[in-house]
Structure 1
Amino acid sequence: MSETLAIDEVPARRGRGRLALIALVLSAGICGFAASYMGFVSPLAMFSKDAGHSEPLPEIGFVDVPRIVVPMPGRNRQLMMSIKLEVAPQDAAQVQLLMPRIADSFTGFLSDIDPAAMDRRGVLEIIRAELTTRAQIVLGDGIVKEVLITEFAIQ
């Protein structure tokens, strides 16, 4: 008699699993329809061409700073950096005109860095912040949006 009970229980468990799966699929379908009907999700927006680009990108320009090579004090090594300044296209001519002052301020700062500081973690972010500050001092606030370090090498 115990064999007949075990056989009867197995189909009941399969039926419960199928019922739970059908209930899950139906509730997911109802929730998806409700979200689409209320405007939370738009299925047509997924197929449109400009779904990800709602705003036009701002116009930017990049001005190259001449490559900077600075000997590191106390060691027989050199610091080499290549930098680009991100500016608005209308300000590029002014930045190019004042490039000798910018390069001088960058070189002065980089030559004063302690060689032991180069081995510390996060030194590149500190250098980028200091170079941004020096560029803003020379050019004025709002002209340089970002200082991009394209090459940083110690040889």
Structure 2
Amino acid sequence: MTDATIDPAAKPSGKKKLIPILAAAVLAGGGFASTYLGLWSPAAILAPKEEAPALPAVVFVPVPAIDLKIPGGSGQSLVLSASIETDSAHQAQVAHLMPRVSDAFTSFLSGIDPAAYDKRGVLEIIRAELLTRSRYVLGTEAIKDLLITEFRFK
């Protein structure tokens, strides 16, 4: 058998001892440089999170359904239902002026040429015109958007 002996005089070299020390120094320098450049902040990580400001509540006020006979002898009628998007501060104003909004919608829809309903993109045009008329009646601050919930021919 061979005798295996361990040489007690064999010690790790000085270069192997410097590797962990140099790695720690490089990592510490990188951390300092990244905080100095503003890439991250230890204080921001430890600080309590701020809550986002509350957005105003969105309210949808329904417009009464409009059932309108299309002129031209075709016997068709148009049914349109919509909702006005507003905030809670203007909800009472929108509900109070709803008869004027319905009147503006009905007068616009009754003036449309019957042939225009068959054209492409008529719904977008009608929506834009109704939104303009509702902003005229209610004001620009009260109205956020107009949503058409039903648009059909009977």
Q: Same fold (TM over 0.5)?
A: yes
1:56: Cα distance to partner? 5.2
**Aligned equivalent of 1:67, options 65, 68, 71:** 65
Which structure 1 residue ranges, 5 or more long, are not aligned? 1-36, 40-53
Whether 1:139 aligns to 2:138 is: yes
Which stretches of structure 1, 4 residues or more, deviate above 3 A after TM superposition? 54-58
* Secondary structure of 1:113 counterpart: coil
How many residues get paired?
108
* Structure with the largest fraction of helix: 1
* Secondary structure of 2:89 counterpart: helix
Distance 2:98 2:54 in 1: 30
Which structure 2 residue ranges, 5 or more long, are not aligned? 1-33, 40-51
Change (3 A) 1:55 1:120: farther
The answer to whether the 8 Å contact 2:63/2:81 transfers is yes
Matching of residues 46-57 of structure 1 within 5 Å: 57=55
User: Which protein is bigger by CA-based radius of gyration?
Assistant: 2
Encode CA deviations 1:55-90: one digit per residue, 9 max, x unaligned.
755421010110001100112000001110000111
Normalised by the length of structure 2, the TM-score is: 0.64
Matching of residues 2-151 of structure 1 within 5 Å: 57-74=55-72, 75-151=74-150
Whether 1:153 aligns to 2:136 is: no
Normalised by the length of structure 1, the TM-score is: 0.63
In the alignment, residue 68 of structure 1 is paired with which amino acid? Answer: I
